[in-house]
Amino acid sequence: MQVSVIILAAGQGTRMNSDLPKVLHHVAAAPLLHHALATAHGLEPSRIVVVTGHESEAVAASATAFSEAADCVVQDPQYGTAHAVAQAAPLLAEAEGEAIVLYADTPLIREETLRAMLDARANHSVVVLGFHAKDPGRYGRLLTQDSNLLAIREFKDATEAERSITLCNSGVICAEAKLLFSLIAEVKNTNASGEYYLTDIVEISRARGLSAGVVLCDEAETLGVNTRAQLAEAEAAFQSRARGVALENGVTLTAPETVFFALDTYVGRDAIIGPNVLFGPGVTVESGAEIKGFCHLEGCHISRGATVGPFARLRPGTELAEDVHVGNFVEIKNAILDEGVKVGHLTYIGDADIGEHSNIGAGTVTCNYDGVMKHRTRIGKRVFIGSDTMLIAPVTIGDGAMTGSGSVITEDVPAEAVAIGRARQVTKPGLATRMFEKLKAIKASKAKGQ
Rank residues 227 and 258 by Cβ distance to ligand UD1 and give the closer one.
Answer: 227
Q: Three-class SS string for 161-189? A: HHHCCCEEEEEEEEEEHHHHHHHHCCCCC
Specify the stretch interacting with ligand UD1 by CB under 6 A; choose among 9-17, 107-115, 255-263, 341-349: 9-17
26 and 121 Cβ atoms separated by less than 8 Å: no
Q: Among candidates 257, 232, 230, which has minimal Cα distance to 243? A: 257
Would you give the binding string for ligand UD1 spanning residues 77-106, x where CB under 6 A is met? Answer: -xxxx-xx------------------xxx-
Quickly list DSSP for 322-374: TT-EEEEEEEEEEEEE-TT-EEEEEEEEEEEEE-TT-EE-TT-EEE-B-SS-B
Specify the stretch interacting with ligand UD1 by CB under 6 A; choose among 8-16, 202-210, 239-247, 249-257: 8-16
Farthest-apart Cα atoms in the chain, separation: 108
Rank residues 48 and 152 by Cβ distance to ligand UD1 and give the closer one.
Answer: 152
- The verdict on 158 binding ligand UD1 (CB under 6 A) reads no
Rank residues 140 and 280 by Cβ distance to ligand UD1 and give the closer one.
Answer: 140
Q: Which of 169, 205, 307, 407 lies at the binding interface for ligand UD1 (CB under 6 A)?
A: 169
Least Cβ distance, residue 300 to ligand UD1 (angstroms)? 33
Least Cβ distance, residue 198 to ligand UD1 (angstroms)? 4
51: helix, strand or coil:
strand
- The verdict on 55 binding ligand UD1 (CB under 6 A) reads no
Rank residues 169 and 265 by Cβ distance to ligand UD1 and give the closer one.
Answer: 169
Would you give the binding string for ligand UD1 spanning residues 174-213, x where CB under 6 A is met? Answer: -----------------------xxx--------------
C-alpha–C-alpha distance, residues 234 and 222, integer Å: 10
Least Cβ distance, residue 44 to ligand UD1 (angstroms)? 23
C-alpha–C-alpha distance, residues 320 and 301, integer Å: 6
C-alpha–C-alpha distance, residues 49 and 196, integer Å: 19
243: helix, strand or coil:
helix
Rank residues 171 and 280 by Cβ distance to ligand UD1 and give the closer one.
Answer: 171
Rank residues 11 and 386 by Cβ distance to ligand UD1 and give the closer one.
Answer: 11
Neighbouring residues of 92: CB distance < 8 A, sequence distance ≥ 6: 4, 6, 47, 49, 99, 177, 181
Least Cβ distance, residue 231 to ligand UD1 (angstroms)? 14
Please count the residues of the chain: 450
| Amino acid identity at 22 | K
Rank residues 224 and 268 by Cβ distance to ligand UD1 and give the closer one.
Answer: 224
Least Cβ distance, residue 196 to ligand UD1 (angstroms)? 8
Per CB under 6 A, contacts with ligand UD1 among 391-410 are none
C-alpha–C-alpha distance, residues 27 and 30, integer Å: 6
- Cis amide leading into 77 (omega within 30): yes
Q: Which of 3, 10, 63, 180 lies at the binding interface for ligand UD1 (CB under 6 A)?
A: 10
Helix 56-66 vs helix 32-42: angle between axes, to the nearest 10 degrees? 40
Specify the stretch interacting with ligand UD1 by CB under 6 A; choose among 75-83, 260-268, 288-296, 409-417: 75-83
Pick the catalytic residue from 132, 345, 357, 375.
Answer: 345
Rank residues 77 and 430 by Cβ distance to ligand UD1 and give the closer one.
Answer: 77
Least Cβ distance, residue 19 to ligand UD1 (angstroms)? 17
Least Cβ distance, residue 94 to ligand UD1 (angstroms)? 23
Residue 306: CA count within 13 A, CB half-sphere: 30
- The verdict on 136 binding ligand UD1 (CB under 6 A) reads no
345: annotated active-site residue? yes
- The verdict on 130 binding ligand UD1 (CB under 6 A) reads no
C-alpha–C-alpha distance, residues 318 and 338, integer Å: 11
Neighbouring residues of 445: CB distance < 8 A, sequence distance ≥ 6: none
CB atoms within 10 A of CB 358: 23
C-alpha–C-alpha distance, residues 124 and 117, integer Å: 10
- The verdict on 168 binding ligand UD1 (CB under 6 A) reads yes
Number of residues this chain uses to bind ligand UD1 (CB under 6 A): 28
What positions carry a catalytic annotation? 345
Residues that bind ligand UD1 (CB under 6 A): 8-11, 51, 53, 75, 78-81, 83-84, 103-105, 139-140, 152, 154, 168-171, 197-199, 224
